[in-house]
Amino acid sequence: MNQFLPITRKECDERGWGAPDFVYVSGDAYVDHPSFGTAIITRVLEANGFNVAVLAQPDYKSCEDFKRFGRPRLGFLVSAGNIDSMVAHYTVSKKKRSYDYYSPGGKMGYRPDRAVIVYCNRIREAYGDVPIIIGGLEASLRRFAHYDYWDNKIRRSILVDSRADILTYGMGESIILNLAKLLDRGVPIKKIRAERGCVYLCKREDEVSFPVASEFDFNVIKESKEEYARAFGIQYKNQDAIYGKAIVEYYDNKKLVQNPPAYPLEREELDKVYGLPYMRNYHPVYEKDGGVPAINEVKFSITHNRGCFGGCNFCALAFHQGRSVRSRSIDSVLREAKLITEMSDFKGYIHDVGGPTANFRYPACEKQIKEGVCANRKCLVPTPCKNLIADHSEYIELLSKIQTLPRVKKVFIRSGIRFDYMLADKDDTFFRKLVSQHVSGQLKVAPEHCSSNVLKYMGKPDITTYNKFYKKYFELCREYNLEQYLVPYLMSSHPGSTISDAVELALYLKNMGCNPEQVQDFYPTPGTASTVMYYTGINPLDMKKVYCPTDYREKQMQRALLQYGKPENRNLVREAFKIANREDLIGFEGRCLVKPDMRVGSDYMRSQKKQENNKKATKNISKAEKNTKNSKISKPQKNTNNKHISPKNGGKRKK
């Protein structure tokens, strides 16, 4: 009978376990759904005969809760959860968030800042030298020396600070299974050095199992922005399993080694992972708190692919999942869809059939399968590569078959769509199918900006591509007699963006009749090229200098320009227009974006007062001239004193 994995010592005893093989520690509440890393890794281990207990959101203020299951036979597996704990806790303005989607009832405070480090230190306090393997997004993206936005400095690899034994990066199913088998055979964790997808620490003089692409010294990287940018560029270009080499970082007398990436799971392997007996919900223990909010977005959704060759510079996917796309078979996805339709609270709507990018099913070209992704060329930008295979036929077949299942009323696509990839497909069948059948009133797309300069640094296609997509989308909406909308994702203050670029975007939005309710200020998070640009002022992919808006006031202005119509943004917008020498956009005419400041004492009101005074003065002069013209005036007579004689005195001198 299918059931949740044990979360208490009592549940382990009921299963007849002594100590579990592994204790999986997570910063998220326990949700057994394939959209959650905890669920996938624990189910993969279970399917291969390992006993795994889940320690979700333990009390981190002491080591006592980490002793809940006793010392595990093989070791602890530690993850901060589905997202970085600092991103989960703080906004881009570094203010505390008030809601946590991955915690019971959305309540904050269940996990610490820098969760991986805190958890590992507590485990060491409890059990000393027990094997610890860290993974998940927080560990994966912080595996090298990295810029930390919250500390505003270069931090050491999280493997060094956590005192864990091995770090697994990327998608970890095959990696963790290989490690588990080695540990089960009695191989000491300190001796495991040749597994792909792993990072470990060793002595400075120890040999490395793979060819090395480059070596760096933390003491140099933390002092030299240029060296840090160069290091990231080499790391980024070695994230391909086919040609990627090992990377080495030195920490005084220690050496950190990243082995090449693990090979991506192929279709049959992915099918097995997603076919495991997930409960597809949060653990019942959270029911009293109102459940775990994160399940609401994915409960009736399906992930059909992995990886993304889109190559956006502000996205960490290339550094985590990789740029080589793989997908599940149609039969595998249909089996999951059928499970969803049998759930008691299913209402007939599949919310999403997507992934990192919904409309990718295969690698971008045949070359990638044998030789890997191009290290110095992106598949879609600045223009689609001539070798790109833009084909939606299998995705169309997949969606069509899900639609035929009993109880399915509608299948929506809510994951990101690459509109440039859609336009590269000469057959518009998918475009038509998307508009006519799979949009739930509005389609979310990500042009991000309109300035060619900014889009270049973002790694996004030129705005002309989005304009072409926009035009065809609404043409098809009219053709099918559907009232549907586009919701564009927009980003302010990305590296490369000047105030003038932000003004250009504001004008573009006005011309398009778009009033975005939500916009995203660029958030520097570990593992992205854009974050390196933000910190160093250098593009790590070509080592050229780039302007970065880091001043708080400028960032406020750039964000306000995207929502220039909001009353609370008017002062910032006027200030931005003055800096950009675009005061012509302040006024009452239709082409203007904001009205003048009408408050007493403002420049505009002083100007208006001055104009009013000038008008009054002109009016008084005109009146005086008119009165003078209508009066009978005697010519002044000369006198010996060389003075004019007042006409009112009839030409007589005053005595």
Query: Tokens 């070695």, residue?
Result: 238
Report how far residue 644's alpha carbon sits from residue 637's, in angstroms, rounded to the nearest whole number. Answer: 7
Question: What DSSP designation does 27 have?
Answer: S
Report how far residue 407's alpha carbon sits from residue 409's, in angstroms, rounded to the nearest whole number. Answer: 6
pLDDT along the chain (655 residues), means of 10: 87 93 98 97 98 98 97 98 97 95 97 98 96 97 98 98 97 96 97 97 96 97 98 96 97 97 97 97 96 96 96 92 95 98 96 96 94 93 95 98 97 94 97 96 94 97 97 97 94 97 96 88 96 98 96 95 94 96 93 84 61 66 62 45 38 38
Q: How many residues does the chain have?
A: 655
Instruction: Tell me the one-letter amino acid at 97.
Output: R
Per residue, what are the HEC states of 436-505? HHCCCCEEEEEEECCCHHHHHHHCCCCHHHHHHHHHHHHHHHHHCCCCCEEEEEEEECCCCCCHHHHHHH
Write down the domain spans for the chain.
9-198, 300-434, 441-615
In contact, 283 and 26? CB cutoff 8 Å: no
Q: List the structure tokens of 522.
A: 């660029």
305-308 contacts at long range (C-beta below 8 A, 24 or more positions apart): 305/354, 305/355, 305/356, 305/357, 305/360, 305/361, 306/171, 306/264, 306/265, 306/270, 306/355, 306/356, 307/264, 307/356, 307/360, 308/356, 308/357, 308/360
Query: Tokens 């910190």, residue?
Result: 535
Query: Tokens 């110095």, residue?
Result: 376
Equal fold, 300-434 vs 441-615: yes
CATH 3.30.750.210 fits domain 300-434: yes
Q: What is the pTM of this model?
A: 0.90
CA dihedral sign, ordered 133, 137, 138, 143:
positive
In contact, 211 and 238? CB cutoff 8 Å: no
Strand arrangement of the beta sheet that strand 442-448 belongs to: 442-448, 485-492, 520-521
Task: Give the CATH fold of the 441-615 domain.
Answer: Transcription Regulator spoIIAA (3.30.750)
Instruction: Tell me the one-letter amino acid at 337.
Output: A
Residue-wise pLDDT tens digits, 443-502: 999 999 999 999 999 999 999 999 999 999 999 999 999 999 999 999 999 999 999 999
Q: List the structure tokens of 489.
A: 């994702």
In contact, 395 and 325? CB cutoff 8 Å: no
Within 10 angstroms of residue 515's Cβ, the number of other Cβ atoms is 12
Task: Give the CATH fold of the 9-198 domain.
Answer: Rossmann fold (3.40.50)
In contact, 456 and 314? CB cutoff 8 Å: no
In contact, 257 and 200? CB cutoff 8 Å: yes
Report how far residue 175's alpha carbon sits from residue 200's, in angstroms, rounded to the nearest whole number. Answer: 13
CA dihedral sign, ordered 423, 429, 430, 436:
positive
Report how far residue 51's alpha carbon sits from residue 72's, in angstroms, rounded to the nearest whole number. Answer: 10
Q: Is 71 exposed, middle or buried (0-12, 13-18, 19+ CB in 10 A)?
A: middle
Within 10 angstroms of residue 296's Cβ, the number of other Cβ atoms is 11
Report how far residue 189's alpha carbon sits from residue 131's, in angstroms, rounded to the nearest whole number. Answer: 7
Q: List the structure tokens of 36.
A: 């959650």
Report how far residue 137's alpha carbon sits from residue 321's, in angstroms, rounded to the nearest whole number. Answer: 10
Helices H / strands E in the chain, number of each: 24, 24
Q: What pLDDT does residue 601 have?
A: 56
CA dihedral sign, ordered 178, 195, 218, 138:
negative
> H or E stretch including 58?
none
Furthest CA-CA distance within the chain: 132
Q: Can you name the residues that pair with 539 across neighbouring β-strands?
A: 544
In contact, 313 and 538? CB cutoff 8 Å: no
Query: Tokens 């890794």, residue?
Result: 41
In contact, 445 and 417? CB cutoff 8 Å: yes
